[in-house]
Structure 1
Amino acid sequence: MVFATYIAGQTQFPEFTLVLMLDDVEVMYYDSVSLKAVHRSQSNSSDDNAGSIFSDIYDIMKDRTFYLKDHHNCTDGLHVYQKRVGCELLDNDLPGLFLSLDAFNGQNTEEFTFDVVKRTMQINLPWMRIKGMGQVEWIHVKFLYEHIYHPVCMKTLRAFLEKEKNTVMRRLKPKVRLFRKPLTDSQGLQISCLATGFYPRHINLTLFRDGQPVDDDQITGGEILPNGDGTYQMRKSLVINEEEQHDTYYKCTANYLDLDNKLDIAFGKEN
């Protein structure tokens, strides 16, 4: 998946930045300062072929930004054009969807989904209406996506998957802990359930009180956050008063991918 941003206006950031991701792993980076496509996992080596493609994306996004600024009569303030484009490989090694999404100042300008297996397209292209593209230009756009953009994307995806498979295909089980922390400003107690060290990032973490899931509006946290070693963590916390600390049973359950059994950590008196 490519994430690209063009900024029109003065900021401390490069005018154009692009990151190429394989799942959640950054594999290449390009910006308008260095004008080089850099491999993140190969001693920061550069790639001239990828650099040429990223340079073309840079030029296209710059052109569209200034065209849309004029079309919408925008002032000389800060304006941002963003692009997200990529493809997917299914478990059976068949190509999945190809997605292309563009936005200008937070408003969608192009949405394109192509299914190469079903040979179907879903399109929402206000950009084409703004630009006033004719039928011939539209046929050319469809040809580019079907016969150039999608095949190049799949070739790139398979190449990086082969290089990074030991990283993106690994499975690391979470370590689950249940903490109790007295609150200094009251007689209450904060209960925190922490699951950490897992990869990939998908996990279900649930706090139970006397066998019933605690309502979400009573829980803080719940976001999946990165660790420094490439794994992830999730923490959920619940504040209970002094009365709830007695004769009440609390349990934290983690459901993760294809684990044979749920991971349960508990404290208190089970009824």
Structure 2
Amino acid sequence: MLRLLCFFCSFPIFLTLKSGSHSFWMFSIFLKGETPFPEVQTIFLLDDIQIGYYDSNDNKVVHRGVNGPQRTLDLEYVPQFNSGQMRNTASYLIEILNHTNSVHVLQRATGCQLHKNDDIGAFISKDAFNGEAGDVLYYNRQLDTVHSDTVWPGTVVSVCTPLMHRYYYSLCIAILKTSLDEEKNRVLKKMKPRVRLLQKTLPDSSGAKVTCLATGFYPRHFNLTLLRDGQSVSDHQITGGELLPNGDETYQMRKSLEVSAEELQHHHYTCTAEHLSLDNKLDVSLDHEWDSVTTSIVPSVLTAAGLLCLAGVFIFIMWRRTQTGQGSETSLQVITEASKSYSSVLTTGANS
């Protein structure tokens, strides 16, 4: 699964869709050689959500919901057919490329897109072998033509015909439409981002790191901007900005900027978030101009000081009673006054 996810991340262009568009993708990996993994593994993605998983050991496609496997999908023939093709392609490539690896890896991404008003997109297939990019195929349904960027002569892609891919395209679109109907609550949902602007003092300098963090949003299309005095900070000054998945089918993004103490005093930092779930831009500012760690220490120190003072008062009372033999009434009065003083200390600490 880790290999599959790395392969998935290496093809971000396939998941770049316009608003209102949808896609179905099958990411497969074929392993030839002695490994502890299944020979073939495949994940099925509807847009950017994993809806199924297949491996050649179990030889069945299992639905993947938010809470794990739920049911078997009627798609076994798809990865089985794809596995046969990949097996033949891998054997051919090992022979013509004369690779001496003990383990060979063939990766394949295959998918189609459906735009607004059922406007159909292209059918795309791309291969990679032992970490090197290989053949790419595009099937245009409107023109009924196949365009291929061939790297390996003699492979299936280089001799393909439109007739073959009419079937592949029709099958992909049929799966996409069926999956959209079944999973519409997952892929059409809109989750609002939780956005915070954080400030953390850097231990090795007098400056700080200002971080804009957004998490819990869906879909993935998201714009996060860090601003200085209302102007966007240039990208080369910012670290982060990658879109990262959470474990609940939502996403997160953070952008950070290191600034000096002087910059903190003379500039105002904010961040802005734009997302489909928001009616307007979401502007976030720093709530405080000091570190949360420092802020939490102040009341604790004052509380400890108050306790020490109160203990000193009680010791003084006991010493006075021993020396003068004063009655309990006077002692009670002194204790009451000491308690009032301690309460005042606590109140001052909380306000600070």
**TM-score normalised per structure 2:** 0.69
1:167 equivalent in structure 2: 186
Specify the code of the residue in structure 1 equivalent to 2:162: K
Residues 132-143 of structure 1: pairs in structure 2 closer than 5 A: 138=160, 141-143=161-163
2:70 equivalent in structure 1: 44
2:89 equivalent in structure 1: 64
Please tell me whether the aligned partners of residues 211 and 254 of structure 2 are also in contact (alpha carbons under 8 angstroms): yes
Distance 1:25 1:223 in 2: 18
Residues 102-251 of structure 1: pairs in structure 2 closer than 5 A: 102-127=127-152, 129-131=153-155, 138=160, 141-146=161-166, 148-251=167-270
Larger radius of gyration: 2
Q: % of aligned pairs identical? A: 42
Specify the code of the residue in structure 2 equivalent to 1:249: H
Deviates more, 1:226-235 or 1:157-166: 226-235
Specify the code of the residue in structure 2 equivalent to 1:145: H
Distance 1:61 1:131, change over 3 A: closer
Specify the code of the residue in structure 1 equivalent to 2:199: R
Cα distance, 1:99 vs structure 2: 0.7
Cα distance, 1:12 vs structure 2: 3.2
Cα distance, 1:117 vs structure 2: 2.7
User: What CA RMSD, in Å, does the superposition of the two structures yield over aligned residues?
Assistant: 2.3
Specify the code of the residue in structure 2 equivalent to 1:32: S
Q: Which has the higher strand share?
A: 1
1:79 aligns with 2:100: no
Distance 2:111 2:62 in 1: 18
Specify the code of the residue in structure 2 equivalent to 1:142: P
Please tell me whether the aligned partners of residues 86 and 99 of structure 1 are also in contact (alpha carbons under 8 angstroms): yes
Cα distance, 1:104 vs structure 2: 1.4
Question: 4+ residue stretches of structure 1 with deviation over 4 A?
Answer: 131-134
Cα distance, 1:131 vs structure 2: 4.5
Give 3-state SS (helix, strand or coil) of 2:169's partner.
helix
Give 3-state SS (helix, strand or coil) of 2:51's partner.
strand
Distance 2:252 2:165 in 1: 38
Please tell me whether the aligned partners of residues 7 and 79 of structure 1 are also in contact (alpha carbons under 8 angstroms): yes
2:298 equivalent in structure 1: none
Give 3-state SS (helix, strand or coil) of 1:40's partner.
strand
Cα distance, 1:92 vs structure 2: 0.9
Give 3-state SS (helix, strand or coil) of 1:92's partner.
helix
Q: Which has the higher helix share?
A: 2
Specify the code of the residue in structure 1 equivalent to 2:70: N
Distance 1:27 1:164 in 2: 8
Give 3-state SS (helix, strand or coil) of 1:143's partner.
helix
Aligned pairs, how many? 262
1:96 equivalent in structure 2: 121
Q: Deviations over 1:78-136 (max 9, x none)?
A: 22111110111111122211111112123333211122134343222344x334999xx
Distance 1:22 1:196 in 2: 21
Please tell me whether the aligned partners of residues 40 and 56 of structure 2 are also in contact (alpha carbons under 8 angstroms): yes
Please tell me whether the aligned partners of residues 136 and 149 of structure 2 are also in contact (alpha carbons under 8 angstroms): yes
2:329 equivalent in structure 1: none
Unpaired stretches in structure 2, ≥5 consecutive residues = 1-24, 289-352
Cα distance, 1:261 vs structure 2: 1.6
Distance 1:197 1:76, change over 3 A: closer
